[in-house]
Every structure is written in structure tokens, then in C-alpha cells.
Amino acid sequence: MERAMEQLNVQLNRLTRSLRRARTVELPEDNETAVYTLMPMVMADQHRSVSELLLNSKFDVNYAFGRVKRSLLHIAANCGSVECLVLLLKRGANPNYQDISGCTPLHLAARNGQKKCMGRLLEYNADVNICNNEGLTAIHWLAVNGRTELLHDLVQHVSNVDVEDAMGQTALHVACQNGHKTTVLCLLDSGADINRPNVSGATPLYFACSHGQRDTAQILLSRGAKYLPDKNGITPLDLCVEGGYGETCEVLIQHHGRLFQTLIQMTQNDDIKENMLRQVLEHVSQQSDYNYQCILTSLAEVATTNGHKLLSLSSNYEAQMKSLLRIVRIFCHVFRLGPSSPNNGNDMGYNGNKTPRSQVFKVCGCVGGPELWPLECCLWRPLELLWHSLDEWLVLISTELEKNGRGATASDIPSLLLKQREVETSHLHVSMATESTPATVLRSSPPLLGGEVMVKPPEVYADGQDVISMTANRLSAVIQAFYMCCSCQMPQGMTSPRFIEFVCKHDEVLKCFVTRNPKIIFDHFHFLLECPELMSRFMHIIKGQPFKDRCEWFYEHLLAGQPDSDMVHRPVNENDILLIHRESIFRSSCEVVSKSSNEKLKQGIAVRFHGEEGMGQGVVREWFDILSNEIINPDYALFTQSADGTTFQPNSNSSVNPDHLNYFRFAGQILGLALYHRQLVNIYFTRSFYKHILGIPVNYQDVSSIDPEYAKNLQWILDNDISDLGLELTFSVETDVFGAMEEVPIKPGGTSIQVTQENKEEYVQLVTELRMTRAIQPQINAFLLGFHTFIPPSLIQLFDEFELELLLSGMPEIDVMDWNRNTEYSSGYDLQEPVIQWFWEVVENFTQEERVLLLQFVTGSSRVPHGGFAYLMGGSGLQKFTIAAVPYTPNLLPTSSTCINMLKLPEYPSKDVLRNRLLVALHCGSYGYTMA
Amino acid sequence: MAVGGKALFCLIPYRSVETPEPEPIYFLFKFLVIGSAGTGKSCLLHQFIENKFKQDSNHTIGVEFGSRVVNVGGKTVKLQIWDTAGQERFRSVTRSYYRGAAGALLVYDITSRETYNALTNWLTDARTLASPNIVIILCGNKKDLDADREVTFLEASRFAQENELMFLETSALTGENVEEAFLKCARTILNKIESGELDPERMGSGIQYGDASLRQLRQPRGSAAQTKQQCNC
């Protein structure tokens, strides 16, 4: 009874204890179950409970459990449960027990920086030299995480501080990689090998440089670390440049002066990322005035040598050209930063948009010739040699041109220039002819001393034409470099007078270059886009280039200032999303766009409609589409329809809307933004308004879009002799001003100047401008203000009014069947004529773009009216597409009369000839056919 | 071939994978090859660089470029050689390459008195346009055509002496004395550097430090004054 009572008491006691502690008070007999009972207590370091539970149990303290097969000692070491750790050790836990990955409790304690646990483990003879399966030891773990204090204690127990992991990496390697300065010092003090290579030959310095650990590199170098490449020949400097670690580079150069030249020479290496190298050079240049001058002088020297090599006809044009331009770009960037000074810190960043603020260089007045320079101007001296050679070359070409000009007629020159010579290459190993230098030969030969290879001088006899064709693009590339150097000495947006003078001086030669090879314009003459005064000289040549090429050039230059599109696509910042209300799309768009910064809008547009989820390109496209349609909504009175109802232009009465000029600016912004981001809009403007956007003067034919009858009258005046008609016209018009008719002069004193046969053209032009331009001048100006925030005027002038329409509104779909059905024939053609049949077959096979060009060619517009070709409008009402016959003479091109939608198609002898001539007219006629 | 072309112009072949580290280059000398048309300037250069005679050489257009690394007096020096056109019409272009040359090969044709007579003009050009200190070696080329000789060795060597030129008769065809001409010129420049007669630091000296040199970034205080001194050119 008593025993029963006692048992009950024990059970009761146990129950109470268990209940009070909210856990079992007896360890299950099965190790696996027991260990999971103990684990949470060990983690929380509840040593009393653990002790109590272990007291009378048969639990194996070395029992390994879980996926990685750890013992409770691992758990205690990992969590820093020092009391439990000691308890377990006292109960015989093995301090060197390794889990499935080979980690001992000491590894885990080291990894997590459990100082006390480490101490206790060492007291119980834990082995510090044990490697885990990856070869890592406790000191590796301490070094990775920079636990210097612990390392200091532990390293005394370590037999080999250079113990390697599976990759041959020592604790010093990993400490350097992670830039733990004190850890590195501790390891070095403990005798770690400062030059130890890992399996791939990477030394501690290499590791420090690979992660741009400036201070660590500094420590290593000051302790005598050798500068060694890895087994692939990659040097610490290569790594610094690759990562753009300017500070680390600087440290390397401080200790190994020769690396400075190596760094400079890297600018010639195509494989190195230019922006990273530039960052490094910019940083180093900002450390002192001496550095700045040293870098620029050296870069100028390298650039000059490269430029001269580019002018050697046997060099590889592509490679040498790229090299020269790369070096000069870097040179200009560094130059713009200016020499270091107290108020010119490193916070200036790397955007390179600085104007030179250095007093030294302003004093220099580097715009003059080298003779005029004070002695300080060493920076530019080497490059002056190159510019001098460039100048001499162009003078030489000019002389050659004159010589040829005497011998051949002007029209012969291009064909002469195109003449190319074949070279005998039979005995050469390799012949390499670049585009423009067919007669040059590059030869590789067994390297002589130091792995050098040599260029073979050209194997041609030089006559004048060859000299020009062989040097044109080389010289043009040097001109590009010259422009870059001239510009970087000027405030942003200004053209150097020296460069303008240069272009004027060599005008004839440069024109010859681009006439012969227009590609040069797009490859090297970017300066034209920045200097309107120079652009005008080349405009006629540029306009003659295919639309597609000009488009590419346009976008290349438009986006030139923007970060590379191949950069990581950044997630859209919530604040940058344009939130638009569908029901008030015009007003809400106007509001959000005016609040956004233009720079942000250039970087990208994200649109979300209020209350809708959708985002992305589709939504942006929809926004432009709906919004552009809304801009011409008659309710706003901003735009008015043309006579034929399909096109729009600013409404001269738009001021009924008091905010109209703001809205015009907004409309301009939207159109500019759409063009910037290659989005199409759903508006078609009158031809005259496209001209206004382009800054092209309007002519009397444009009047027909708003007043066809009046346009016919103007045409009549021009077509007939008005001397004896007694028209009594003066240079004035009668206008209704607030209900009263008033005579308003259209030029000063116009009311008393008679319109005569002699001055009638001026009269027509002036009244045209009055009707087309002056009436809506404020609206045009406001629109352009908005448009030009995204599209610089100098760029848009690459196009004519027809092309601008295509750019803004895109290619319409053209139904050839409908076109065919609604076409009339005159002057002897009919549908059965072979020429007409060929014509339609050819059009059928045209691309959409070619069809649009044809439509534009004949009708002046790229659009098919609503309802199809049946509704095609002419100068005076409906005017169907008409094809008229013209007698054929060889090479004759088709022409058109846009007022009456007439294509004058010569009676070509074959389909091929027809197709060929038609395409020539479409592709080359974009500039000229406005005259037709 | 593009890759080969690129390697061609790398002044310093870093990241060389297979070959062991090349000898570091101490100096880079800018050389000119000048003289009348048809004296064999391009052939001399070709022979020096490729150890071969150039069979079908044509008139050079403008200026051509070649380079070779040589060992002079225990130092590795890179010669950057600009081979100029001899034809009169290129004269102003080629002259623009003169500035900053450290050495020059002045070439005439021993079988053509005309080319010999023109030497004074070439010499004046070189001394005035390049640098008064330019080291020039006179080369009487086409030594192999002794039968057609129009200029005697003695006459030319007297001319060389009077004008303080070194002198050699060379043959681009056989290669005789070609290497010597370039090396002699380079050695003289190196001697002048070592004796202090030439200062590589001076701009326009035609001498640049190579990757083994001592020119490096310093962190001097009051560097402005120092820089001005260097600009003394």
C-alpha cells in the first residue's frame, strides 16, 4: 500500500514537474526520439533540463541524426550553447566528430563566431587542423567572415596556417577576397605565405584585386606581395580594370610604377570593357594634377601613334579605327573632368558632361594652333602631330582632285574614284582587303623578337584615284577623332571654331569623300548632327541616302546619351508610372506628363490606366494611340481638318481655349516622345504642318490642303502672264478684323507695291506663308517647344515631310486589289497593256514599305483614305489614281503629278526594266520628287 | 586575320597565354626611313622585319608602319619605324611624321647619283623638322649592284663625316648590313641616353618608356613646377 502510494507520489511528482515545465521529464529510451527532445533544449542552452534528462538515461551523446548526421555537440557549437556544450563534452561527446560534410563542432563554432564554444572545444582537445570535405578548416571559416579576434586565438593551435582547401585556397586567400584587413594582417603575422598561388595560380593579391579590395591590396603590397598573373596570364591589374576598381588600380600603380604604362596601353585592347577602363583612368587622374597630366599626355601619345597607324594603308582599318576612336573617347572623358582641385572632388561622377573648369587649360587657350600655346600645353602636343598629318593628307587629296579634275570631266570623277585595283597576292600567306582599301595587304609572319609581327607595306602603284579611295575612310575616322578632341575643349553644345574652320578649309575633299562613299557620313561624320552650320553643307548628300540608313543614324544619335539598352532592365519605379484616367485621357495625360522629368521620360515610359492592372509595351502603345486621336478631338479646338478631311493642322482659332498654347506644347511633347520611343501615333497632319515641324518653308501647293480653290488661283497666277490683266494687286490682303475689312500689308509698305509679272513669285510665297504659317505661328511655336524637348531640330531635319509622316504614323496597310480596281488610265494605257499588267505584278510583289513609297510618290501622302482608293482626293475633289503613258527612252524614270494623283509611267520594254526603274525612282527620288 | 591584325598593334603583349613573360621593354624609339623615291626604303624595312627581300615593291603611299623589338646593349628596345614615301607629291604628308623621331635611316641608291645629290635636302628636313639631336645613319643601298655604281664609298663616307652621320652601305636584297644599320642607330641613341646627352623625359625626344621603365605616377607635392619644367620642349 505504501509502495503503491510511493509510486503514485513519484508519478504525481513527475506529472507535476512535467506539467509545471510543460515538457517531458524523462528521456525516451530510443535515441532518435530522445535526440529530438533534447535538440530544442540544446539550442536554447537549457543546460539544467538537459542535464536532468541525461542524468539517468542511456542516451548516446554522440548519436548522429538528421540529414547531415550531426551530433548534439554540433548543435550546441553551432548555436553557441556553451553550457550544454560543456555538459555534452563532460558526458563524453567526441569534439572531433564529423558530420556528413566533414564539419566538426569546431568548424561550426568558427563559422558562426561562437567564441566561448571554440575555447571550450579546444580545452577538450578539439583538432584545429581537421578539414571538411571541401578542405576547409576552422581558420578558413574565421577568415571568410573576418573574425580576427577568434582567429588570433585559434591560429596558435594551427600547425599550418597555409592549409589549402580543395581549390588550393588558404585562409589568406579568402580573407583577401572579402577584404578583411585585420584578418589579413593577423594571418600574415602568423606567417601565412603572402604569394601563395591557388590551383589556378591566383595569389592573395589577385584575390584582393578581383574584388576591388583596395585596403587589403595596400596591406599586401606594402608587405612585399609579388605582382603575379594567374595560370591564364590574367594579372591583378586586368581584374581591377575588368571590375572598374579605380582605387585598387591606383594602389597597384603606386607600388608597381610600370603598371601605369600597361594601364595606358590597355586602351588599345578591344577586349577590355571601355567604360570600366575609363572609370579606372578617371579615378586615377583625379588623385593629383600630376596624375591627370600624366594620363592625358600618355593617352595622347598612344592616340597619335594609333592615328598614324590608321593612316598607314597596310594597317587593318576596322581594328585601327576602333582603337583610335576608343582612345580618343577615353582621353576626352578624362580631359573633361579637369585636373583635381579642392573643389573638384571625386563626387563629380563619371558622366563626362563637364566643361573644363581648370584655370590652367583656360589660360592655355588650346583652340589656337600649337605654335600659340604656352609650354604647359603638353597634353595636346602629341595629338597636334596627328592633326597636322591629317591636314597635310587632306591638302594632298585636294591636289590630287585638282589634277584629276583637269584630266576628266566632273561626272567621270566618281567612276574613276571607284576604280579598284587587284593586287597580286599569289606569294602572300594571307591577304586581307578592307572595304575601302582593296589594294592593301596584311601579312602575318613568324614572330621575331618578343612575338612581334609586322605589316607589309602596300603593293600598289599609287595613282590619284587610288590614293583617294584608299584613304577616304581612314582620314574620315581621324576627322571624327579630331572633332571629338575639339569639342571636349568647348562648352557643351558649342562647335569649336577651329573645327569649323577645318571643315571649311577642306570642304571640297570632304564632299568628295561622302559623295563617293556616303556611308562615311553615317560612320564618321556625327559632327554634322551637332553643328547645323556644317550640316547644311552636306544636307543634299545626306538627303540622297536611303530613308532606312537615315533612320538608323537618327536613332543612333538620338539615343547616344542614354544608358546602353543592353544594360540590365531595371524594374519600373512605382513613382515613375504614368497613371492615366481613361475617361479624361487628355487632361490626365497632360497633367502627369508635365509632372514627369523629361530625362525620366526619355529613359522609358510605363503607363497604367486608373483601375486597371495592365502594364507594359501594349499599354504604352494603346495610350499613344488613344491619346493622339484625342488630341485632334474637335472639342478641344486645337487642330482643324484639312479640306479633304483626312489630315489635320493647328486651328488658327484655337485661342478660344485659353490654355491652348500649353496644350500645343503638350501635343508636341507627345509626338516627340512617341518618335523617341518608336511608338506610332494615330494622327495624320497636313503636308504643310510636317514642313513646319521640319523647318522647311511651305510653298503655294501646300495651300491646297486647306483651301484648294485658292491654291488653284495661285497656281493660275504663276502659270500665266499677268502683265496685261489689270489685276490691281498689291502686296497686301484684305482681312476681316473684328467685323471690319482692313487692308493688311504682307511686307513692309506692301499696300503700295504692285504685284507684277516679275515679282509675282514673291507675292505667292508671301501670301502662302501668311495663310499657312503666320496665322498659326504661336501654335506652331508652342508645339515645337514641346517636340524639341525630345527630338533635337538638328536630327529631325534628316527627313523630309513625307518621311516624317512615316516616322510618326507608320506604314499603312495597302490593299493592292482595291488600288487596282480604282485606278484609271490615260494617254493610251489600259488595263490590258502589258506594261500595266507588269506594273500590277510588280506592285503585288512589293514590300509594304515599297508600296507606301509608291503611293507617296504619286499622291504625296502615304495614306489610303477611309473607304479605300475610291475616295482618293486630288487638288480639287475626288481624283482617282491614274497611270499615264510616256514614250520610253533608255534609263528614263517614272515621274508623277501629285496634285492629280498621276503616275507618268514610261512604256518600258520589260517587266524587269519597269521594276528596276520604279524602285530607283522610289528610293532615290525622296528628295527630288517634291519638285515634280 | 582580324585577330592577328589586332595583336599586331599591341605595344605590350600582356595576357600572353602560352609564351612565358616576354622581356620587358625598356624604351620605345621612333625611327624614320627617309630618302628619294626608289632607293629601297620599304625593302630595307621589310628585310629588317621579315628577313626577306620584298620582290615586287611599289611606291609607298604616304607613310607605312613597322615595328620590331631588338636587344641593344642588354636592353630590350622596341623600334617603331615609319617608312615614308619618297615621291615628291607626298612630301608634305611625310614631313608631318618627322616630329619627335629619335633616329632616322637616310637612304640613297649607290647606282643613282641623283638620289645621292638629294641627300642634303633630306638631311636639312630631318634636322629641322624632327629634332636637331636626331641620330641619323646614312645608308647607301643596293650594294649588290656594284657594277652599276655611280657613287663611291669614299665619296659618301666623306659626306657622312662632314655632316656627322654614321654610314653604311647596305643591300636590302642580300640583307647585308641591314640589321646593322638599324641596330647601330638604336645603340647610338641608347648611348646618348646613358651619357645624358638625350633626355627621354623631354617631349618630342622620340623616346618613350616601355613597360619596364621607371616612368610612373608619383604623388609629388608641388608637382606643378615640376611639370612645367618637363614641358620645356
- We report the CATH number of the domain holding residue A259 as 1.25.40.20
Q: Is A831 on the interface with B (CB under 8 A)?
A: no
Out of A280, A299, A321, pick the residue that ends a domain.
Answer: A280
With bands split at pLDDT 50, 70 and 90, how would you rate the model's confidence at A890? confident
pLDDT, residue B204, reads 65
Q: Are residues A252 and A396 in the same domain?
A: no
Confidence band (pLDDT; 50, 70, 90) for A359?
very low
A449 part of contact set with chain B, CB < 8 Å: yes
* Residue A341, CA distances (Å) to A281, A346, A357, A362, A380 in order: 17, 10, 10, 15, 21
* Same domain as A205, residue A125: yes
Q: Which of A257, A290, A294 sits opposite B214 (nearest CB)?
A: A257
Q: Is residue A481's pLDDT more than 60?
A: yes
Give the CA radius of gyration of chain A: 41
In angstroms, the CA A265 to CA A261 distance is 6
Q: Is A908 left (phi over 0), alpha (psi -120 to 50) or beta?
A: beta
pLDDT tens, residue by residue, A284-317: 999 888 889 889 988 998 999 999 999 999 899 9
Instruction: Judge if A87 and A191 occupy the same domain.
Output: yes
Domain-located, residue A338: yes
Using pLDDT thresholds of 50, 70 and 90, give the confidence band for residue A439.
very low
Q: Round the average pLDDT of chain A to a whole number and report it.
A: 81
Neighbours of A4 (CB within 10 A): 8
Interface test with B, best of A317, A378, A380 (most B CBs within 10 A): A378
Whether A393 is in a domain gets the answer yes
pLDDT digits (tens, 9 = 90+) for A642-688: 776 778 889 888 888 888 899 999 999 999 999 998 888 888 888 88
The reply to whether the predicted model has a pTM over 0.95 is no
Cβ atoms of residues B139 and B106 within 8 Å = yes
pLDDT computed for residue A897 by the predictor? 78
Contacts of B56 in chain A (CB under 8 A): 424, 459
In percent, the amount of chain A with pLDDT more than 90 equals 33
Q: Rounded to a whole number, what is the distance in Å from the CA of B225 to chain A's nearest CA?
A: 10
Task: Note the pLDDT of residue B69.
Answer: 93
Asked if A663 and A731 sit in the same domain, the reply is no
pLDDT bracket for residue A561 (50, 70, 90): low
**pLDDT at A788 exceeding the cut of 90:** yes
Which cell goes with A166? 580543395
A777 in a structural domain = no
- The pLDDT of A46-59, averaged and rounded, is 86
Q: pLDDT tens-digit profile of B202-218?
A: 766 777 776 554 443 43
Residue recorded with cell 590574367:
A234
A331 and A469: one domain?
Answer: yes
Closest residue of A to B80, CA-based? A305
Residue A435 pLDDT class (50, 70, 90 cuts): very low
With 70 as the cut, is the pLDDT of residue A414 above it? Answer: no
Q: Which residues of B touch A393 (CB under 8 A)?
A: 62, 93
Do A400 and A527 reside in the same domain of the chain? Answer: yes
Mark whether A275 and A324 lie in a shared domain: no
Closest by CA to A639, choosing from A652, A627, A624, A625, is A652
Residues A67 and A108 in one domain: yes
- Of the ranges A59-68, A262-271, A740-749, A778-787, which one carries the lowest mean pLDDT score? A740-749
Residue where a domain terminates, one of A246, A280, A314: A280
CATH code of A827's domain: 3.30.2410.10
Q: Which residues of A touch B178 (CB under 8 A)?
A: none
- Answer yes or no: do B95 and A291 touch at CB < 8 A: no
Residue of A218, A317, A389 to mutate, testing the B interface (most B Cβ within 10 Å of its Cβ) = A389
Among candidates B97, B98, B75, B67, which has minimal Cα distance to B27? Answer: B75
Residue B189 predicted with pLDDT over 70: yes
- For residue A171, the enclosing domain spans 25-280
Q: Is the pLDDT of residue A200 over 50?
A: yes
Answer whether residue A17 is part of any domain.
no
3-state secondary structure A306-339: HHHHHCCCCCCHHHHHHHHHHHHHHHHHHHHHCC
- Residues A624 and A763 both lie in one domain: no
CATH number at residue A657: 3.90.1750.10
Cβ distance A900 to A874 under 8 Å? yes
Longest dimension (CA), chain A: 151
Averaged confidence pLDDT in chain B: 81
- Residue A395 has a pLDDT of 94
Cα gap A103→A101, rounded to integer Å? 6
> Which pLDDT tens digit goes with each residue over A864-880?
766 678 877 766 667 88
CB A719 within 8 A of CB A711: no
Residue A735 has pLDDT above 90, yes or no: no
Question: What does the block give as the cell for B184?
Answer: 647601330
- Whether residue B219 and residue A254 make contact (CB cut-off 8 A), yes or no, is yes
Asked if A439 and A461 count as a contact pair (C-beta separation under 8 A), the reply is no
Residue A829, SS3? coil
Closest chain B residue by Cα to residue A235: B15
**Rounded distance, CA A266 to CA A271, Å?**
9
What mean pLDDT do residues A796-802 have? 86
Residue B11 has pLDDT above 70, yes or no: no
The SS3 of residue A424 is coil
State yes or no: is A512 an active-site residue: no
Beta bridge partners of A434: A437
ipTM of the complex: 0.82
The three cell numbers of residue A745 are: 500689308
State mean pLDDT over A140-169. 90
**Domain contains A682:** yes
d(CA A596, CA A617): 19
Q: What is the mean pLDDT of residues A137-159?
A: 90
Average pLDDT over residues A380-406: 87
Q: Cβ neighbours of residue A22 under 8 Å, at least 6 residues apart?
A: none
User: CB–CB of A427/B55 below 8 Å?
Assistant: yes
Which chain B residues contact residue A269 at CB under 8 A?
10
The CATH number linked to A767 is 3.30.2160.10
Residues A257 and A347 in one domain: no
Q: Which three cell numbers stand for residue A573?
A: 519605379
E-strand stretches of chain B: 27-35, 63-72, 75-84, 103-109, 135-141, 166-169, 207-209
Distance CA B142, CA B150 (A): 11
Antiparallel, parallel or unpaired: β A823-826 and A881-886: parallel
CA gap A594, A665 in Å, rounded: 10
d(CA A649, CA A654): 11
Least confident of A61-75, A908-922, B29-43: A908-922
Same domain, A842 and A719: no
Q: How many residues does chain A have?
A: 932
Backbone phi, psi, residue A733, to 5° = -135, 155
Helices (H), A136-231: 138-144, 148-155, 171-177, 181-189, 204-210, 214-222
Nearest CA in chain A to B46: A456
What is the per-residue pLDDT for A932? 32
Domain annotation covers residue A767: yes
Residue A466 is assigned to a structural domain of this protein: yes
Is pLDDT at B149 greater than 80 in this prediction?
yes
CB pairs under 8 A between A and B: 227
DSSP characters for A236-257? HHHHHHHHT-HHHHHHHHHH-T
**Which pLDDT value is given to residue A720?**
86
Q: Beta strands B135-141 and B166-169: pairing type?
A: parallel
The residue from A772, A794, A825 where one domain ends is A772
Identify any residues that bridge with A904 across adjacent strands, giving them in sequence order.
Answer: A884, A895
Highest mean pLDDT among A204-213, A539-548, A877-886, B212-221 belongs to A204-213
Do A352 and A457 lie in one domain? The reply is: yes
Confidence band of A919 (pLDDT split at 50, 70, 90): confident
Structural domains counted in chain A: 5
Type of residue found at A504: C
Task: Encode burial over A771-793: b for 16+ CB neighbours within 10 A, e otherwise.
Answer: bbbebbebbbebbbebbbbbbbe
Least confident of A322-326, A887-891, B61-65: A887-891
- The region of weakest confidence among A119-123, A178-182, A603-607 is A603-607
Question: Given an 8 Å threshold on Cβ–Cβ distance, is A460 in contact with B22?
Answer: no
| Nearest-by-Cβ selection for B4 from A235, A320, A453 | A453
The residue with greater pLDDT, A592 or A868, is A592
Q: Which residue has the cell 548516446?
A: A60
Say yes or no to pLDDT of B185 above 50. yes
Average pLDDT over residues B173-200: 91
Contacts of A258 in chain B (CB under 8 A): 24, 211-214, 216
Residue A226: inside a domain: yes
